[in-house]
Each structure stands twice: as structure tokens, then as C-alpha cells.
């Protein structure tokens, strides 16, 4: 798949059509077996009362914070699941203190060292998969009994190779990759919710 866009566009409609085509291809590239393995890890973690830590930079930070909302509130609606979720991208004061006094590259791993314990789960979101603060977090997780799930795009980067589970999206446009990562987040939250709901409620609820 070549980089998108490859040429200038004269109309926004034409750009829209090609963007959505790339988005469809990116979604179709998701490995369902890997997705199922990650969903199982999340389900087991929540059932055991473990914490899910999630992080990303830029647009991926927004997805991480959105994940906190949809997991912590959405999954437990009409279920007996009580997801314990922390976004390492959410606390601006702590992130800037770590970045200013130590190093921006340690802004996630510092928080993990403080709060995460063996049996917890780390979910990272990085289109390139190569952001240093993401890679350090995944490496720390591997060394400390914390299961890791990486959402990546482009060539996957170092976090794709270091994570226990890598959900890779075939795409080389940041918008396309981030849109697909956002969709994966929604798929996780909605799938885990409906799996624990009374069947009679599913068609009555808005997801």
C-alpha cells in the first residue's frame, strides 16, 4: 500500500472517497485472532480486579482518554463488570512535572513504576509504534509481569516487537491509523459489554 495521499486533489469529495477507501482497507487488515487474544486479556484482567493502564501521544492520547471513558462507564452499564482503568495521558500536571524534572521519555514509565503491579495490563496506542515514551513503557511492562497490548500502524515500530500482543493496522496515514485505533477501542468496549449483558437487553440498549 502506497502512502496516502500520493497526489493533489481538486475536490474534497474525491479526497473523502479515497480516504474512506483507505480506512476500509485498514479496518480489514486487523487480525481477528490477535483481536480475540487481546479481548481475552482485558476480560480476565477486569474479572480479576486488575488495572488497565493506557497511554498515547497527541491524537493517540485523546484515544487513550476516550478509552478510559468508554471502558470505565460503558462496559459496566448493564453488566457486573467493574473495569479499573487509568489513562497515563490524562494528568497534564504530572506529565509535565516528569517531563520537566526528569525526561519526557519517562512520562509513562514513571507512572507505571508508581502504580502498576504484576497482573495488571498496559495498552499502548501509537501509530508509528516507535515513540520513545511508549517503547519504554512496554519494555518496563515486559520486565515486571504486566501484560502489554500495543495498537500500532505504519511498520509497527519497536513497540510492535516488544509488546506481548500487537494489534497492527496496515496504513501509513496518521488519520487513517488513528481512526482505526479509535474503532478498535470502541469494538473492545462494546464487545466486552454485550458479552456480559442479558441477551434480552442488547436490542433494547443504544451502544
Q: Is the pTM of this model over 0.85?
A: yes
- For the segment(s) 32-202, the CATH number from 3.40.50.450, 3.40.50.10490, 3.40.640.10, 3.50.50.60 is 3.40.50.10490
Work out the mean pLDDT of the chain and round it to a whole number.
96
Residue with cell 485523546: 62
* Domain chopping of the chain, boundaries: 32-202
CA 148-40-108 angle, to 5 degrees, is: 20
What would the grid cell of residue 170 be? Answer: 496496515
In tens, the pLDDT along 26-79 reads 999 999 999 999 999 999 999 999 999 999 999 999 999 999 999 999 999 999
Report yes or no: 36 and 23 within 8 Å, Cβ to Cβ.
Answer: no
Burial class (CB within 10 angstroms; exposed 0-12, middle 13-18, buried 19+) of 165: middle
CA 186-190-195 angle, to 5 degrees, is: 150
Q: How far apart are CA 7 and CA 19, in angstroms?
A: 13
Residue with cell 514509565: 109
CA distances from residue 35 to 40, 71, 132, 200 in whole angstroms, order as listed: 9, 16, 24, 26
CA torsion angle 140 142 144 146 (round to 10): 110
pLDDT for 2 equals 61
In tens, the pLDDT along 125-147 reads 999 999 999 999 999 999 999 99
Amino acid at each position: 500500500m502506497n502512502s496516502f495521499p500520493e497526489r493533489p486533489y481538486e475536490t474534497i469529495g474525491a479526497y473523502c472517497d479515497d480516504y474512506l477507501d483507505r480506512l476500509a482497507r485498514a479496518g480489514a487488515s486487523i487480525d481477528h485472532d490477535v483481536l480475540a487474544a487481546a479481548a481475552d486479556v482485558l476480560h480476565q484482567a477486569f474479572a480479576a480486579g486488575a488495572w488497565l493502564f493506557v497511554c498515547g501521544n497527541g491524537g493517540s492520547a485523546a484515544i487513550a482518554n476516550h478509552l478510559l471513558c468508554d471502558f470505565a462507564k460503558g462496559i459496566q452499564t448493564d453488566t457486573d463488570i467493574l473495569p479499573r482503568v487509568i489513562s497515563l495521558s490524562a494528568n497534564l500536571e504530572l506529565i509535565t512535572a516528569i517531563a520537566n524534572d526528569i525526561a519526557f521519555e519517562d512520562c509513562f514509565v514513571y507512572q507505571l513504576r508508581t502504580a502498576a503491579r504484576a497482573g495488571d495490563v498496559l495498552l499502548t496506542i501509537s501509530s508509528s509504534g516507535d515513540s520513545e515514551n511508549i517503547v519504554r513503557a512496554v519494555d518496563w511492562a515486559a520486565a515486571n509481569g504486566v501484560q502489554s497490548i500495543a495498537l500500532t500502524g505504519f511498520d509497527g515500530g519497536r513497540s510492535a516487537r516488544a509488546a506481548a500482543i500487537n494489534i497492527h493496522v496496515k496504513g501509513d496515514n496518521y488519520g487513517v491509523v488513528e481512526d482505526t485505533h479509535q474503532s478498535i477501542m470502541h469494538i473492545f468496549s462494546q464487545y466486552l459489554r454485550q458479552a456480559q449483558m442479558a441477551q434480552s437487553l442488547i436490542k433494547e440498549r443504544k451502544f
